[in-house]
Structure 1
Amino acid sequence: MRYVGWDWASRTHDVTVLEDSGAVVERWSFAHTEAGWAATLHRLRRHGDPDQLPVIIEKSSGLVVDRLLGARHPVVPVHPTAFYAARPRWGAAGAKSDPGDSYKLADYLRTDGHRLRRLEPTDAGLRELQALVRLRDDQVRTRTATINQLTATLEAHWPGPRDLFTSLGSPIARAFLTDYPTPDSAARLGEARMAAFCRRHGYRGSKTPEQLLTRLRAAPVAPVGLPSTTLSAIITAQIQLLNAVQATIAQIEKRIAGCVAAHPRARLLAGLPGVGTINLAQLLAELGPILDRVESAEQAATECGAAPVTKASGKSSGVYFRYAANSRARQALTTFAHNARLQSPWAGELYANARRRGKRNPHAIRIVARAWLRVIWACWHTGNPYDPATHAARRDRPTSAT
């Protein structure tokens, strides 16, 4: 059997092929172009059937991995930290080069490949959902950054509108700053105009127009203000950016909803308490591929970071947060666990018990997430949609294992 070590980069890749004995059969570099890829995949086929030629790489997703999986090569991802810890076996000097790394990776696969998992091609529907969910996450972070920038501008030059409504990102707050971007533009804003503005934009808050005006006028005045035209241009630009990001998020969410409705496995988790369309998409996209490849719910819990790490040596032992985990899957799972504890009495009791034992909120949420993961695992692998009555009945049986 032969083993392939792949040191990837954005422009060039280094490849080494080893025999069972550890001898180098072939080594080369190629440019990250279609011609380079075609030549390399053809070159690899000369060393055997792709199904029998595993490739190890410090990467678990992306174009490089997809091309190798598409060519039927077993892909073995290794975490850079784990590979770094193994480097001293090839010398204590710490020498490093791209061709040398490809050799070390191939040798690591040859000696320790039985300890490493192999990737499986992700379901096409889950891959599409994953791309959309991650794009939405990026846009949400952009929205948060934009709101923070707008908040900083208002705090420095016009604090009044900052706390006028629930959130600066809300439609009515954006509309207010569009109509009144400066103190001068709001100088003649009276109770009647404020009431008309609230009616026009469907204000549903508890404050009266008079109270809103009082809140606006009570804010401190910036001692050294910008010219009104300059401040108007700055705030208008930030509001336009915020509107554009919000519109993009809305379009992505609409697309996500359509993909969730079309995916055959969505029905398995749609009945979970407190799960909405977006969180359901996150569970499918980030947790689904993990559930497909692992062999047990506990293994899934470790990959998702819902299970802690136990460290014991001699008389000392401790249980610690698991940092080496899929952070996106952990976020999707813990977001669901937080929502579920508010909707499900069983999950709420799990959370309350954890808090009574002195666990902090994030730890208690992970305890709930780990319990729910066993339920999700059962639904995913039996093909039975989640049903609260069935779940309750199985919990009541002393020997049941949900």
Structure 2
Amino acid sequence: MSVTALPTPARVCAGIDWAKDDHAVCVVDDQGEALERLTVHHDVAGLRTMTRRLLAAGVSDVGIERPDGPVVEALLQAGLTVLVIPPAQVKNLRSRYGSAGNKDDRFDAYVLADTVRTDHRRLRPLVRDSDATLALRSLVRARRDLVTHRVAVANQLRAHLQIVFPAAADLFADIDSAISLDFLTRFTTQEQADWLSPKRLGAWLRSVGYSGRTDPTVLHQRITAAPRGATGEHALVHAATTSAYLAVLAALRAQIEALATRIAEQLTLHPDGHVFTSLPRSGTVRAARLLAEIGDARGRFPTADSLACLAGVAPSTRQSGKVKAVTFRWGADKQLRDAITDFAGDSRHTNPWAADLYHRARARGHDHPHAVRVIARAWVDIIWRCWQDQTPYDPTQHRALQRLLNQPHHTAA
């Protein structure tokens, strides 16, 4: 008696071109024919309509260009499998369907849906990080954005002072340090700084709790040696600009510190916090950033190589005929790459193994960024293993480090 095999259900796929106000949706059958097209508004009713229509059409897999946001949340809550196809890939995929390369939301939705149909085995379903990690990522990225703003405003303030009050522009090491901001708040013009003497400056520095090692006499010499700034009534106008920059910098510094406090709290509570704080010179913010960008969805990185490739610390090999080139990997998660290379670059200052890797890379002719990526690639294997096993980094179990430390010309750092 023969058994007749049941026919395999046809795969129905969908693509969604995400936008701020409206989302274009396309559903295709197993032959790539569009079964349904619709546009939904970015509101509760629109997202509910979208998921209802997708489920009614028998859709199981959905392609989309971004891994987060309300649209993705709605799809996951409806039990649909989300496959993320980055915008750069979608741009290249358009040429499969025409040579014009025009950007059209409805067309992109079809490209996403058909790519899910044809390349399903090459795509990895979206695995969400925990809510704790998502919240930590939001804090870490917000703090980094504010730091970027602070640096920009500090540069603007320095450029302004170099014209109207040069003595204050380079008086202290950092223009946005607490002591520099205090000085500019008290002495906003050249004429106010003219009142200072070494003794008066020393008294003022003690009153604000200055803990720097530079003698007041040296600081006063910097003031008198600098070119003269604006004086008279125009100096007061320039002082208003200075005060505006100071207010912005003070607000940014306060909010950066507030976020750093919240980051420390969330890192302490996170189940993986101990893994990343155990890394050398990771500190609090750096450890939190590593955790936030790597995440805690371990299925996202089944191997250390997959983490290294997404982080852009593994080189890209290109070969055509007899020509073979190993080049910088441009396609990477830039936030993740920055987090890992920032840690790796600083680790060489206390970890002899990382320092040895760095110096050997430099000796081979690599520039500093390349040498740091060499260290980062080596650290990825260690971080990935600790992360997968949820165990802290232990220098005594780091074989390469121990071999280096046991050599006669090395001492433990």
SS at match of 1:310: strand
Matches within 5 A, 1:87-126: 87-126=94-133
Partner of 2:29: 19
> Which letter maps to 1:271?
S
Match among 78, 82, 86 for residue 79 of structure 1: 86
Cα contact 2:201–2:220 (8 A) shared by 1: yes
| Cα deviation digits, residues 33-64 of structure 1 (max 9, x gap) | 1111112112222123xxx6111112233332
Q: TM-score, normalised by structure 1?
A: 0.94
**Following TM superposition, by how much is the alpha carbon of 1:222 offset from its aligned partner in structure 2, in angstroms?**
4.4
Indicate if the aligned counterparts of 1:291 and 1:377 stay in contact, CA closer than 8 A: no
What does residue 33 of structure 1 align with? 43
| Match of residue 260 from structure 1 | 267
The aligned residue for residue 400 of structure 1 is none
Which of 60, 63, 73 in structure 2 is aligned with 1:53?
60
User: What SS is found at the alignment partner of 1:217?
Assistant: helix
Verify: 1:209 aligned to 2:216, yes or no.
yes
Matched with 1:298 is 305
Q: State the alpha-carbon separation in 2 of the partners of residues 94 and 241 from structure 1.
A: 44
Q: After TM superposition, where is structure 1 displaced by more than 3 Å over at least 4 residues in a row?
A: 93-96, 222-226, 289-292, 392-397
SS of the aligned residue for 2:248 comes to helix
Report how far residue 335 of structure 1 moved: 0.9
Q: Name the CA shift for 1:79/1:199 in 2 (closer, same or farther; >3 Å).
A: same
The answer on whether the counterparts of 2:90 and 2:108 sit within 8 Å (CA) in structure 1 is no
Change in 2 beyond 3 A, CA 1:93/1:358: closer
- Change in CA separation of 1:365 and 1:94 when aligned onto 2, cut-off 3 Å: closer
Matched, 1:6 2:6: no
Question: In 2 relative to 1, CA 303–393 (structure 1 residues): closer, same or farther, beyond 3 Å?
Answer: closer
Q: Does residue 201 of structure 2 align to residue 194 of structure 1? A: yes
In 1: Cα distance, 2:370 partner to 2:72 partner:
34
* 1:229-271 Cα shifts (integer Å, max 9, x gaps): 2122111111111001000000000000000000011112221
2: distance between equivalents of 1:243 and 1:231? Answer: 19
Assess, with a 3 A threshold, how the Cα gap between structure 1 residues 93 and 206 changes in structure 2: closer, same or farther: closer
In structure 2, give the amino acid aligned to 1:123.
Answer: S
Aligned mates of 2:381, 2:102 — CA distance in 1: 45
TM-aligned CA distance change 1:91 to 1:184, over 3 Å: same
Instruction: For residues 97-122 of structure 1, give each alpha carbon's deviation from its aligned partner in whole angstroms, at most 9, with x where no partner exists.
Output: 32222112211111112112221111
Q: Where does residue 410 of structure 2 map in the other structure?
A: none
Q: Distance in 2 between matches of 1:341 and 1:135?
A: 27
**What's the counterpart of residue 276 of structure 2?**
269
Q: Is the 8 A contact 2:93 2:111 kept in 1?
A: no
**How far did 1:65 drift?**
2.3
1:348-389 deviations in Å (ceiling 9; x for gaps): 111111111111110110110110110011111122221111
| Aligned residues of 2:16 and 2:63 also touching (Cα < 8 A) | yes
Structure 1 position 207, deviation (Å): 2.4
Q: Deviations along 1:97-149, whole A, 9 cap, x unmatched?
A: 32222112211111112112221111111101100000001100110111011
Measured in 2, the distance between the counterparts of 1:271 and 1:91 equals 52
**CA separation in 1, counterparts of 2:149 and 2:178?**
17
Change (3 A) 1:53 1:221: same
User: Displacement, 1:291?
Assistant: 5.0
Q: Does 1:132 align with 2:148?
A: no
For the 8 Å contact 2:158–2:169, the answer to whether it is kept is yes
Structure 1 pair 95/217, CA: closer, same or farther in 2 (3 Å)?
Answer: closer
Asked if the contact 2:341–2:373 (Cα under 8 Å) also holds between the matched residues in 1, the reply is: yes
Deviation at 1:13, TM superposition (A): 0.6
Change (3 A) 1:209 1:361: same
Match of 2:180 in 1: 173
Q: Which moved more, 1:286-295 or 1:328-337?
A: 286-295
Whole-Å Cα distance in 1 between the matches of residues 172 and 342 of structure 2? Answer: 26
Distance 1:212 1:364 in 2: 38
Matched residues, percent identical?
A: 39
How far, CA to CA, are the matches of 1:3 and 1:240 in structure 2? 53
Q: Which runs of 5+ in 2 are unaligned?
A: 1-10, 405-413
2:153 and 2:249 in contact (8 A); partners too: yes
TM-score w.r.t. structure 2 length?
0.91
Q: Partner residue of 1:392?
A: 399
Distance 1:364 1:95 in 2: 40
Q: Match for residue 291 of structure 2?
A: 284
Work out the CA distance in 1 between the residues paired with 2:333 and 2:37: 32
Alignment check: 8 A CA contact 2:51 2:74 kept:
no
In structure 1, what residue type is equivalent to 2:73? D
Q: Which residue of 2 aligns with 1:163?
A: 170
CA distance in 1, matches of 2:400, 2:94: 52
Q: Contact between 2:136 and 2:266, CA under 8 Å: does it hold in 1? A: yes
Count of aligned residue pairs for this structure pair: 394
The range that moved more, 381-390 or 173-182, is 381-390
- Quick check: 2:188–2:239 contact (8 Å CA) kept in 1? yes
1:311 aligns with 2:318: yes
Question: Which structure 1 residue ranges, 5 or more long, are not aligned?
Answer: 398-402
* Residue in structure 2 matched with residue 219 of structure 1 by the alignment: 226
Q: Is the 8 A contact 2:395 2:402 kept in 1?
A: no
Aligned residue identity for 1:46: A
- Aligned partner of 1:323 among 311, 320, 330: 330
CA distance in 1, matches of 2:149, 2:56: 47
Deviation of 1:17 after TM superposition, in Å, equals: 0.8
